[in-house]
A = this chain, B = another copy of it.
Amino acid sequence: MTLSRPITPAASALRDKFREVRATSLALAAPLSAEDQCIQSMPDASPTKWHLAHTTWFFETVLLQPHATGYMPFDVRFHYLFNSYYEALGPRHPRPQRGLLTRPSVHEVHAYRRHVDDAVVALLEEGAFDWAAVEPIVTLGLNHEQQHQELLLTDILHALSCNPLLPAYKPASGPALRLATVAPAMRWIEQAGGVVEVGFAEHAGQPAFCFDSETPRHRALVQPHAMADRLVNCGDYAQFIADGGYQRPELWLSDGWAAVQANGWRHPAYWLAPDDPRLGFGLQTQGAASWHVFGLHGVRPMEADAPVSQLSFYEAAAYAEWAGARLPTEFEWEAACNAPGITQMTGHVWQWTRSSYDPYPGFRPMPGIAAEYNGKFMVGQLVLRGGSVATPEGHTRPSYRNFFPPAARWQFSGLRLAKDL
């Protein structure tokens, strides 16, 4: 038996980070009942409980099993239940049936988390491990968990939106203000373009982690253009609706128009029209003579200067067409990220770009199981840039490439305009 070595400062910091991220997931689930945490409202979304278990499975499978000597799995059946899509890791429970897993209970999943947390912390504290191998896995696992934290919020919001009672995830601390102020006019900020460097770059004092899809850093040519200084807001978008935006095929991509027709879209996913029966139903409002928006705080009057959210790419592109503009490319966005005068680049909504999620020149997936993390999804998806209110602090960065299919509209996803010069 060996004496354990004292923990290094780097390992200590990693352990603390681990504890913090793991605690955040539980905190996000805390306002939800066991029933809330169990259901799945559509195949694209997952139950809260599943998010809690799957992120734990990731540490167990990718970190503990290969690297923690003598680790005993909590329950070998969970390897089948909580794999998401890793073909290399064997068969798995079908995605559309995640909501049927009433067992294990949320309490058992909490026990599973504690079991794995204890083993990870013990591994990091014990010290007798290969730092070069372990640190990247832990960091990847934490970034992975942060992605699921955002999905946990967007998925439960979708589930709650399917309930005619429209319950709030977390009641607001104060009343929503019905703002009389006018949003500042959007301004165009000219960008010179030229050869720019895009993709992840390691800087002193910056986070050292990125996903493989952000690499390799490379040069790209960007044309001169103008970028909007702010996001499109709800007041802007309400004008698009009022101008018949959802009834004019000439504004839409062909697939987008088909989606409008097939699904009866008339406004963003979580907007309630003034005559929505659920407004009276839930007695949530008085004098519902205007748009309302369902969100994490429940149903509240639409705020004209709040960024519009829960848009599909199709809606974002149609709005841009209506506005006589276009969506920025992902490289225009990245190049303008720190440009003077540009605001709201992160922390509000993810911003649809006019760029398909294609691999960068020279792209190679991460080695090992993480090879299935990004590359295999690089078809049929659009890039979103920025970060939203639901994105964990410190998780995103200018080179970050989020992606969703063009019809997805349960994310905090909006847009910023661009135009040619």
CB < 8 Å neighbour of A100 from B162, B222, B250, B313? B162
Query: Which residues of chain B are within 8 angstroms of A223 by Cβ–Cβ distance?
Result: 218, 361-362
Cβ of A131 under 8 Å from chain B? no
CB < 8 Å neighbour of A101 from B100, B163, B282, B376? B163
Q: Do B362 and A33 touch across chains, with their CB atoms under 8 A apart?
A: no
Which chain B residue lies CB-closest to A358?
B356
CB of A350, distance to nearest CB on chain B (Å): 17
Q: Do A219 and B221 touch across chains, with their CB atoms under 8 A apart?
A: yes
Distance between Cα atoms of A103 and B168 in the complex (Å)? 11
Query: Which residues of chain B are within 8 angstroms of A152 by Cβ–Cβ distance?
Result: none
A99 with B163: in contact, given A255-B380, A377-B254, A378-B253 (CB under 8 Å)?
no
Cβ of A257 under 8 Å from chain B? yes
Q: Do A356 and B356 touch across chains, with their CB atoms under 8 A apart?
A: yes
Cβ of A157 under 8 Å from chain B? no
Q: Do B382 and A379 touch across chains, with their CB atoms under 8 A apart?
A: yes
Q: Do A253 and B358 touch across chains, with their CB atoms under 8 A apart?
A: no
Cβ of A41 under 8 Å from chain B? yes
Q: Which of A81-89, A227-235, A389-397 forms part of the interface with chain B?
A: A81-89
Cβ of A115 under 8 Å from chain B? no
Within 8 A of B (CB), among A41-100: 41, 77, 80-81, 85, 87-88, 93, 97, 99-100
Q: Do A420 and B105 touch across chains, with their CB atoms under 8 A apart?
A: no
Distance between Cα atoms of A223 and B99 in the complex (Å)? 46
Cβ of A129 under 8 Å from chain B? no
Q: Do B163 and A100 touch across chains, with their CB atoms under 8 A apart?
A: yes
Cβ of A349 under 8 Å from chain B? no
CB of A324, distance to nearest CB on chain B (Å): 12
CB of A285, distance to nearest CB on chain B (Å): 15
Q: Do A165 and B406 touch across chains, with their CB atoms under 8 A apart?
A: no
Interface residue range, chain A? 35 or more
Distance between Cα atoms of A406 and B381 in the complex (Å)? 12
CB < 8 Å neighbour of A163 from B41, B102, B254, B379? B102
CB < 8 Å neighbour of A80 from B103, B195, B255, B281? B281
Q: Do B102 and A39 touch across chains, with their CB atoms under 8 A apart?
A: yes
Query: Which residues of chain B are within 8 angstroms of A357 by Cβ–Cβ distance?
Result: 356
Cβ of A359 under 8 Å from chain B? yes
Mask, A3-42, CB within 8 Å of B = 1, is: 0000000000000000000000000000001111111010
**A contact set with B: CB distance below 8 Å:** 33-39, 41, 77, 80-81, 85, 87-88, 93, 97, 99-106, 159-160, 162-165, 167, 195, 218-223, 249-250, 252-257, 281-282, 313-314, 317, 329, 354-359, 361-362, 371, 376-380, 382, 406, 420
A–B complex contacts, Cβ < 8 Å, 11 sampled: A77-B282, A87-B250, A88-B250, A97-B162, A100-B159, A100-B163, A103-B165, A104-B165, A219-B221, A223-B361, A253-B377
Known interface pairs A35-B35, A354-B359; 18 further A-B residue pairs with C-beta atoms within 8 A, sorted by A's residue number = A33-B103, A33-B105, A35-B103, A35-B105, A36-B102, A77-B282, A80-B164, A85-B254, A87-B250, A100-B159, A102-B163, A195-B221, A219-B221, A220-B221, A253-B376, A253-B377, A253-B379, A255-B380
